[in-house]
Structure 1
Amino acid sequence: MFFLKVWLLMDPLSKLPMFATDDEIAIAIVGKKRASHWKRGALIILEARGFPRVDAVHGGRPVPLIRKWYNLYLGLEKSYVQSTQEIGKDNWEAWRLKREERNARKPQLGLDGRCQSVLLYMVAHPDAQTHVAIPNAGAFTMNRLAEKGAIVADGVDRDGDTEWKVTEAGIEEAKLISFWHHGK
């Protein structure tokens, strides 16, 4: 019992407010030098394993629950032998859901870099309808975009060049490309 009281007095979590920020928690758990690394990597993994979430009303994570979570995580409430023999349990369903969310935001047509830049240019400049009017576009690039369903032939201009029009699928793909690469 005496050891537990001394440990609680030395416990860095006991110096935090009841609801602490991720920075404060990271410093208390792993120290200043490794705090940013812990927040970027370990915190995501720990949240998947049930680490207490940020309380929106109080703007921080509840420190008493963090202490309790670590006691369970480190096996302090069980015998040491029993906790070292347990196999780790990951929340694969949470990882699968995150992967599906990410893949839904990912460009879907499988366009290479040149096709993506040509498509983005065509969406931004609807008056550019032939490969001559579009930078870095050639007949091959336009045909590849047409194969993927991003554009369709819309006739021939007076010079004999095929005019192209962006499809709805092409507009949606351009939005996904912009968000995926530029966050817009």
Structure 2
Amino acid sequence: MTRRKIRTLDELPLFATDREIAEAVVGPERAKQYLLSIKLLEKLPGFPPHDPAHGGRYVPAVKAFYDVRSGLSPATLTRPAGQENPAGWNAPRAPRSKMRPA
């Protein structure tokens, strides 16, 4: 019986299936357990959603999620969909200039 080479997150396509991600994160032996916890992971901030247009999750975001969770990268706030004010969720918008370009 030949063993499959374990692929890392860096070796996966840009969008990968949950199975591919599971095998890269915890190895093929524990992938089934990981897949059972996907619904819990999706509730955590920063875990990327499944993209139906691409048939998988955005792998760089999965890697960033684990880097932040492990303390290897500083946490960064991301804007919720439709949020136009990156200064803060409740910060007032800066007034727009009434001057128009000439």
Superposition CA RMSD, Å:
1.4
Who wins on radius of gyration, i.e. which is larger? 1
1:34 matched to 2:33? The reply is: no
Aligned residues: 67
Deviations, residues 110-148 of structure 1 (Å, cap 9, x unaligned) = xxxxxxxxxxxxxxxxxxxxxxxxxxxxxxxxxxxxxxx
Give the alignment's TM-score, normalised by structure 1: 0.35
Larger relative helix fraction: 1
Deviations, residues 34-57 of structure 1 (Å, cap 9, x unaligned) = 00111112x222111031111111
1:53 matched to 2:53? The reply is: no
Structure 1: any 5+ residue segments left out of the alignment?
Answer: 1-10, 79-184
Q: Which runs of 4+ in 1 moved over 4 A?
A: none
Q: How does 1:1-184 map to 2 (within 5 A)?
A: 12-41=8-37, 43-50=38-45, 51-78=47-74
Structure 2: any 5+ residue segments left out of the alignment?
Answer: 1-6, 75-102
Deviations, residues 55-80 of structure 1 (Å, cap 9, x unaligned) = 111010000111111111111125xx
Could you say which structure has the greater relative contact order, defined with CA pairs below 8 angstroms and 6 or more residues apart? 2
For the residues of structure 2 that align with 1:69 and 1:61, how far apart are their CA atoms?
12
Q: Secondary structure at the match of 2:50?
A: coil
Report percent identity of matched pairs: 43
Deviations, residues 68-103 of structure 1 (Å, cap 9, x unaligned) = 11111111125xxxxxxxxxxxxxxxxxxxxxxxxx
